[in-house]
Amino acid sequence: MNYTKCWLEYPRICDETGKTLTAACLLTGTVAWRAVEELRLGLEGLYGLTLETTAEQTADITLDCDPRMHPEGYNIRVYQGRCTIVSGGERGALYGAFALLRQLQMEQCAWEELTWEGKGRPANPMRVLNHWDDLDGSIERGYAGQSFFFRDNEVLVNDRTVAYARLAASVGVNCVVLNNVNVRGAANQLISRRYYEPLREIQKILASYGITMYLCVNFAAPMELGGLDSADPCDDRVLQWWKDKASEVWGSLPGLGGFMVKADSEGQPGPSAYGRTHADGANLLGEAVAPYGGKVIWRCFVYNCQQDWRDTKTDRAKAGYDFFAPLDGKFRDNVVLQIKNGPMDFQVREPVSPLFGGLKHTNMMLEVQVAQEYTGQQRHVCYLIPWFRQVLNQDMHCCEGPSTVADLVSGRSYGNTCCGMAAVANTGDDPNWTGHDLAAANLYGFGRLAYDTTLTGEEIAKEWLRLTFGKTPLVEETLLHILMASWPVYESYTAPLGIGWMVNPNHHYGPNVDGYEYARWGTYHRADHKGLGVDRTSSGTGYCSQYTPELAAEYENLETCPDELALFFHHLDYTYRLKSGKTVLQHIYDTHFDGAEQAAAFLTLVEGLEPLLPQPVYQRLHERFRHQKEHSCEWRDVINTYFFRKSGIPDAQGRTIYP
């Protein structure tokens, strides 16, 4: 086995070898069986205990079912070595088992000593991992090796598939989309006889951990795969083709969750070619998969990627709302729109997408990216959970009653059930799964947060650290500090004040202030010798007005617009004074000097952990933090020099800015 178990290592807390516990499971099914199995694994690892199953009522651990409860919820009671996990269904039992093992590790107590009452109930119905894995084995925006699902156009099924399913289930993920949203080449054939058999194998493994499998499909599949001359959603032949295809697919893969589609986006085909709307397109598939209980996940990442940089009125940020808000209420019940957290594309800082406020009669899913495409690509540390938590907390002021993003996507606001949270995954076949060892905190954290949106980033980080590194105070304190500081630090030495996009084109790594400035992607900072930023107020692109009035006014008005989004919403002079009291330019200089300094401090801190960490872990961390230190200087210097050259204004503190 050339890979780790991440937070499922179950390292020994205290040795109770020789003792045997009994477990009685009153639920039946493979998922319930996995729950018991996990308890067996966990108790053996943590204590050396042996767990035997029994049919007796007097077992040490009892897994029971209460059909009035949520099928994914659980209640746990532990006292003096006796434990009951009551759940609404098998998934709840599995989550309860993981919760119990987590609690034991958090408390670091002997089995007999744990006294605890715990409860779980999922905030979000759907908790999805999106894998952008291609069939050749590459991963689009993958920073942790190759795919462990595909290689050389074949599907991989092996012990790593099981290990992956455990990791996902242990944090409450209940849906996995196996392949890249950009469906090209052989990936078209995933919904053909060529692949059903190995897909069924994967599906079986995932299902045994309570995970529903989804597949990305190409909107033009009727042409690519079916040989039709059209994919027009209003063409009866096309509908019939999809119906036949769905019948074939569910015949071979019963229990499949459904299809995910990226349509009319960045070159992917879609309904617009036929003058049809996204609702036409999504409902076409929705109708075809409905007889099998299938769902359609439809991405809202749609914009004009042939924009002219000279055009200052067109605004990519507006595209999602412009395309989808007018279609509110037109989508079938089994269609869910997947909306990126921000209106642009996973930048280190963006406002929340106004679409969350704009859709009232449509199923919505929040899409975040734990793959660190724009946030250091798993070579820089960037713990994203506090950021996701901010997004969830954002009040959209769009309805009576609860109206935060968390309320909207969980279904609390409007009573939806086909909704939730999705994350673009950060995994690959690297031995540690995520390239940067600390990036696993994002994978862990996404699942935990999606299941329980009241958890804070810090609470989740503490859990993950304890589970991953055991109880070693200096390690836990140091890494907690680094994790919690990491996102602000990364923001500070990269693109300032919400402006985004100052990266090298294509691969998106490293500083390049003008990299996207004269490009066709709608991604501009408009820096000149006097200032920078995009005017998105009513005197500019008008983007602000896509928000509900409270938010629109907040962003429109410089007095109330938060500093960290100042340049996202406003074009400001370098000498403009922010609420912090600093000028825009001095803010840029200060944050870049500070950020690089903090990145250097991370390295020093990590070096202090050398004796406390396993050698391979330390070496991987050390290599990455060394790189981050150096690369943050490159960021600092490129950004500072760029703005010094442009403005001619020196640093007030006289630090080195290369001319």
What is the contact surface with a second copy in residues (CB under 8 A)? 309-310, 312, 504-505, 511-515, 518, 526-530, 637-638, 641-642, 644-648, 658-659
Q: Which is nearer to a second copy, 558 or 638 (CB)?
A: 638
Q: Residue 65: how many CA atoms within 13 Å on its side-chain side?
A: 14
Find out whether 628 and 379 touch, Cβ atoms under 8 Å. Answer: yes
Distance CA 6, CA 433 (A): 8
Q: How far is the CB of 515 from a second copy (least distance, A)?
A: 8
Q: Which is nearer to a second copy, 124 or 640 (CB)?
A: 640
CB of 646 to a second copy, least distance (A): 6
345 is catalytic: yes
Which CB atom, from 578 or from 638, has the smaller least distance to a second copy? 638
Q: Which is nearer to a second copy, 187 or 502 (CB)?
A: 502
Shortest distance in whole angstroms from residue 531 CB to a second copy: 10
First CA to last CA across the chain, in angstroms?
Answer: 52
Among 38, 280, 367, 373, the active-site one is 373
Out of 266, 311, 477, 528, the active site residue is 266
Q: How far is the CB of 330 from a second copy (least distance, A)?
A: 38
Picking from 87, 67, 80, the residue whose alpha carbon sits closest to that of residue 116 is 80
Q: How far apart are CA 535 and CA 544, in angstroms?
A: 10
244/308 with CB nearer a second copy: 308
Catalytic annotation present for 38: no
Q: Is 90 a catalytic residue?
A: no
Q: Which two tokens stand for residue 183?
A: 């469906």
What distances in angstroms separate CA 324 from CA 43, 231, 298, one per listed residue? 50, 21, 11
Catalytic residue among 264, 345, 430, 590: 345
Please give the full DSSP string across 295-340, using - where no structure is assigned: EEEEE-----SS--TT-SS--GGGHHHHHHGGGTT-S-TTEEEEEE
Helix H or strand E segment including 127: strand 126-130
CB of 645 to a second copy, least distance (A): 4
We find the least distance from the C-beta atom of residue 519 to a second copy, in angstroms, to be 9
Spatial contact of 303 and 503, defined as CB atoms under 8 Å apart: no
**Residue 522 three-state SS:** coil
Choice between 121 and 526, CB closer to a second copy:
526
Q: Are the C-beta atoms of 639 and 502 separated by less than 8 Å? A: yes
Provide, rounded to whole angstroms, the least separation between the CB of residue 506 and a second copy: 9
**With contact defined as beta carbons under 8 Å apart, do 487 and 375 qualify?**
yes
Burial of 316 (0-12, 13-18, 19+ CB in 10 A): buried
Q: Rounded to an integer, what distance in angstroms lies between the CA atom of residue 147 and that of residue 557?
A: 46
The span from the CA of 52 to the CA of 625, in Å, is 45
Of residues 529 and 579, the one with the C-beta less far from a second copy: 529
Tokens 């109330």 correspond to 560
Catalytic residues: 266, 345, 373
